[in-house]
Structures are given as structure tokens and as C-alpha cells.
Amino acid sequence: MSDRAPAPRRALVTGASGAVGAAICRRLAADGCHVLCHAHTRSADAARLVSELTTLGTTAELCVFDLADRHAVAAALAPFLAEAPIQILVHNAGVCDDAVLAGMTAAQWRRPLDVSL
């Protein structure tokens, strides 16, 4: 039997740069998880969250990538997955590009779906 404590569960929270994502990260960290805080366009906000969490004595890391780009997702997560599995996923990220349906471009239609799904 080992005297070492088990490694903390690892949680990936997408959209950690927003208020809801940050609250989820704080809760998971308080529950003893190592939190991977994801951001795409607001990485500075997520970096501040990581700093806050580590200052409080919990563990967290920043990961920045575009959820709609599967190659970027794979490349960004590969180093994290090489270390250990991610046991918890909270898919909190979301985007909205509202427009009148008749005036929407294909990109305006696809982007929210790509990020959300």
C-alpha cells in the first residue's frame, strides 16, 4: 500500500473566461480537482482565474483553443492528456451570433453550432 495521496481528478471547463465558467472552475478547485481552464478569445480573463486559483492553493492550468477547430482542440489537449486523463468535462462555452434568419450568413449559422456541439 502506498502512502501517497491519490492524484486529484482533472477537470476541463470550457468557457472558463466567463462568469459562469469561472464559478464552475472555483467550485471544482474547491472540491479538490485540478482544473484546466479553457478560453478562446478572452484568454487573459481565464489566465487571471488560473492565477486566482493557484494563489488560493488549488491547482489549475490555462488552455487556449478554438472549440470549433478540431485540429486546434487535439493539439492543445495533447500535452494535458499525455500527463493524465481528464475525468470531468464541463462544456460551458457558447457563442451567439444573432441575426434575422433570412440575413444570416452560413458562418453565422455554423459557428454557434460548431462551438456548442
Element (H, E) at 65: none
Per-residue pLDDT of the chain (117 residues; tens, 9 = 90+): 567 777 899 999 999 999 999 999 999 999 999 999 999 999 999 999 999 999 999 999 999 999 999 999 999 999 999 999 999 999 999 887 777 778 888 888 887 787 777
* Residues 90, 12 contacting (CB under 8 angstroms): yes
- Torsion region of 32: left, alpha or beta (phi above 0 gives left; psi -120 to 50 gives alpha): left
**In this structure, which amino acid lies at residue 80?**
F
* Residues 30, 58 contacting (CB under 8 angstroms): yes
pTM for the full predicted model: 0.86
Q: Determine the Cα angle at 29 with ends 26 and 33, to 5°.
A: 145
Domain 10-116 is found in CATH 3.40.50.720: yes
